[in-house]
Amino acid sequence: VSTKEKSLLASLVITLLVFGNFFVDTLEAVLAGEPMANIGTSLVAAVISVIILEIIVQSLLASLSASQKDDERDRLIERMSFRNGYICLSVGMWIWIAQTTIPTWWTDLPSSPFMARLAEETVRAATIMTGALVPVLLLLLFVIAEVTVTVTRLFYYRRGI
């Protein structure tokens, strides 16, 4: 396993562990009906944890192995990975926009049992999304995009282009 793969794998594990814990805790707080005031503190703690862990792990990896210069293959893998992350983020944003706007116009459509149930569930989901949850959901989209970039890079380093 190359140095770049080790670095990417370490970043992936740190991101999944820290932000995964943050999102699970936030979901539990929302479902339990707890006040959303603690989310800001949890978010700051998650970001600081990621920064500290990344500095420690990446410094350790850099000290244990020689650095490699990026070549054309590395740049191509990086471009393809960022493209995949951008697509993932764009699709997530469009789904989120649709999910937040559909309740306003869906109620005007001719009623069928399926459409009525779907509209009811969508409106219920939209009411759960309070003002404090919007930044959390946007952060979730960015984390998913970042994980997509990292997983894609690992995939292309293993499989090749």
pLDDT (0 to 100) of residue 161:
77
- Low-confidence stretches of the chain (pLDDT < 70) are 1, 102-112, 114-116, 118-132
Domain that holds residue 32: 3-159
Q: Give the DSSP H or E segment for 2.
A: none
pLDDT (0 to 100) of residue 60:
93
Number of domains in the chain: 1
pLDDT (0 to 100) of residue 49:
96
DSSP string, 29-75: HHHTT--TTHHHHHHHHHHHHHHHHHHHHHHHHHHHS------HHHH
